[in-house]
Structure 1
Amino acid sequence: MSGSTFGSIFTLTTFGESHGPGLGGVVDGCPAGIALDEALIQRELDRRKPGQGVASTARKESDRVEILSGVFEGRSTGTPIGFLVRNEDQRSRDYSKIMDVYRPGHADLTYDAKYGVRDYRGGGRSSGRETVSRVAGGAVAGAFLASVGIEVTAYTLELGGIRAQVNDPWGAQDRPFFAPQDEIVAEWEQRVAAVKSEGDTLGGIVEVIARGVPAGLGEPVFDKLDARLASALMSVGAVKAVEIGSGLDAARSLGSVNNDPILADGFASNNAGGILGGLSSGQEIVVRAAVKPIPSIAKEQTTRTAQGGETAIRIGGRHDIAAIPRINPVLKAMAMLTLADMLLLQRRMGRS
């Protein structure tokens, strides 16, 4: 299976399935001397692990990370950083009834078309659990970025059609749903409870912000910073659209409104999302990801079997009501991996 390595200089290669013994990865290209230990990675993993909050699956996983290589006495050594997270609470029997049935909204049919075989136990590599490795790798990237003054956060902008006011984006890590304001939490909890009672699921929008990114990061043609960020976020299974800065609103705007005036002491606005011509402008980088509803629903759906017959399906087992908020640390991780890779590319080209 190709396509399991992300990045060009700062790289992450991942392995593992939802119902296998575990998941893990190898980060290569991380400079030596970066402060790093299991506790730092664990903090990020704890933000995405299952069994937390009203929207989360009942599956219980401690998601304890083990660093296997590349770290000595709390510092990166410059060699490949290997890590492992063991699965503990698999219930593969939950999927035995649908082993020959393609679940709507999942990758069952397309995996069968590509490989001629698929892991029906939770989707195998296409499961959301695959993102454990992304978050662990992203934590390593985050440690490197922190060493040069770059910070990244991700918060929920919208859940189930209810949009939040962005009052405190950097404090969102400590609120349910990674909410950027206190008042919205109760509304989202009510929305999740109502949809759960109907056997359905929700989508939403996550916004990612990076600050401290120096101007000039990125390449001006095919490796534009915004293109790389969009690709990174779109590689997450539930993401169906990505916006940079004003995004789709720019298509409905005027140049006189959408342009960001440049003043003596900086920009007057940030409709560009911190990226001009594919290069960082020195402002905050602002990226949004549209997240689809979880496709595993209790309502009856029409589908077909692997043998070609039409059938009806209700999906049991343990599933999230929304990918939010557990997807937030994943999107943050992908942004950090991208920025780490582009920063090292800048250094290799002798531009910093």
Structure 2
Amino acid sequence: MAGSTYGKILTMTTWGESHGAAVGVVVDGCPAGIELSAADIQKYLDRRKPGQSRFATKRAESDTVEILSGVFEGKTEGSPISLLIRNRDQHSGDYSEIASYYRPGHADYTFDEKYGFRDYRGGGRSSGRETIGRVAAGAIAAKILQELGVDVFAYARSIGPVEIDDRKFDLSERDRNGACMPDAEAAKQAECYLDDLLSQTDSSGGVVECVMRGLPTGIGDPVFEKFSANLAKAVCSIGAVKGFEIGDGFAAAKMRGSENNDAFRMAEMPDGGKRPVKATNHAGGTLGGMTDGSDVIFRAAFKATPSIAKPQKTVSKNGEEIEISIRGRHDPVIVPRAVVVVEMMAAFAAADMLLAGMTARMDRIRDFYGK
């Protein structure tokens, strides 16, 4: 199976299945000399692990990371970093019935058509558990970005019909509620909405918003390697993502040029100099495919969790039309746990493009080599 590797300079290759012995990732291209410990990675994995609220699957996994290679005496060696997270609470029997039919909204049918075979235990490679490797890899990218003063943070902007109020934005609140929203009032409304859906054995989707602050100007290229295009690929590769927009996104289609354009002005810098900055940020931090020095702001739309106990119509592998109710341990909404996945994929994409941008100018290459 191809397609398990992302990145050009900094790469991640995720591996493992939902109900296999373990899942993990190999990160290559990471510069040597970065301080890295299991704790640096674990803090992000803890944000996505199951069982943290009544809106998450009850699968009891510690998701403890093990660093197998690439780190010596607390620092990266410049060699491939291999990370492993063992699966300890597989209930594969919950999924035995799935082998005989195709679940609506899942990859069962397309897997069978493409490969002639599928791992039906929790979805195999199509399971949300694959994102553990992405989060672990993103934690390494986040360390690279921190060295450069770049901050990346995400949160649930909306769950179902409930959306945060920007006037009440408090990022610290995000980690204090089950909805992962930076607005306490909206989080309570979202939790009531989800409780109602749970009583109906149904599920919800939502939108994750992410902000990337401190990226230098000029990251990305103007044609096929646009910053926004590579970012979209990273984010849209996450299972259940059905939409991506940056800046004003689809709303820009309804705006006039005079409304959507970001005017420039001169601003004083900490070193006493001045440089152009944007007065507004309708573009979401990119111009011509390259970062423009302002915050990169984007959103990812997640569909409702397809595994629901409510009766659904489908077909069996034998072509019989049937009605099913899916059993097992499933999230009624994946948005809260997906927040850190979006955050880490954005961090990884940015770190990869930062490293690729180092060769854009000959004068900087000469400076690096002292010529």
Instruction: Specify the TM-score bucket, using the shorter chain as the normaliser.
Output: over 0.9
- TM-score (norm: length of structure 2): 0.93
Deviations 1:252-302 (A, max 9, x none): 111111111111122111110000010000000001000000000111111
Corresponding position of 1:247 = 249
3-state SS of 1:325 partner: helix
Considering only CA atoms, is the larger Rg found in Structure 1 or Structure 2? 2
Corresponding position of 1:321 = 332
Corresponding position of 2:200 = 198
Aligned counterparts of 1:128 and 1:10: Cα–Cα separation in 2: 23
Corresponding position of 1:55 = 55
Corresponding position of 1:171 = 172
Aligned counterparts of 2:114 and 2:228: Cα–Cα separation in 1: 30
Which consecutive residues of structure 1, in runs of 5 or more, have no partner in the other structure? none
Corresponding position of 2:70 = 70
Deviation at 1:236, TM superposition (A): 0.3
Aligned counterparts of 1:60 and 1:248: Cα–Cα separation in 2: 39
- Per the alignment, do residues 169 and 229 of structure 1 end up closer, same or farther by CA in structure 2, a change over 3 Å counting? farther
1:242-281 to structure 2, matched below 5 A, reads 242-265=244-267, 266-281=277-292
3-state SS of 2:336 partner: coil
Amino acid across the alignment from 1:168: F
Aligned identity (percent) is 51
Which runs of 4 or more aligned residues in structure 1 lie more than 6 Å from their structure 2 counterparts after TM superposition?
none
3-state SS of 2:69 partner: coil
Q: Are 2:47 and 2:337, in contact at CA under 8 Å, matched by a contact in 1?
A: yes
3-state SS of 2:100 partner: coil
Aligned counterparts of 1:303 and 1:142: Cα–Cα separation in 2: 42
Amino acid across the alignment from 1:245: G
Q: Are 2:174 and 2:183, in contact at CA under 8 Å, matched by a contact in 1?
A: no
Q: Are 1:199 and 1:299, in contact at CA under 8 Å, matched by a contact in 2?
A: yes
Deviation at 1:89, TM superposition (A): 0.6
3-state SS of 2:212 partner: strand
- Per the alignment, do residues 172 and 272 of structure 1 end up closer, same or farther by CA in structure 2, a change over 3 Å counting? farther
Corresponding position of 2:343 = 332
Alignment pair present for 1:290 and 2:301: yes
1:1-352 to structure 2, matched below 5 A, reads 1-166=1-166, 167-168=168-169, 170-176=171-177, 177-265=179-267, 266-350=277-361
3-state SS of 1:178 partner: coil
Aligned counterparts of 1:289 and 1:117: Cα–Cα separation in 2: 31
Which consecutive residues of structure 2, in runs of 5 or more, have no partner in the other structure? 268-276, 365-371
Number of corresponding residues: 352
Deviations 1:151-200 (A, max 9, x none): 10011100011110134364354232221222212111101100011000
- TM-score (norm: length of structure 1): 0.98
What is the root-mean-square deviation of aligned Cα atoms in Å? Answer: 1.1
Deviation at 1:349, TM superposition (A): 3.2
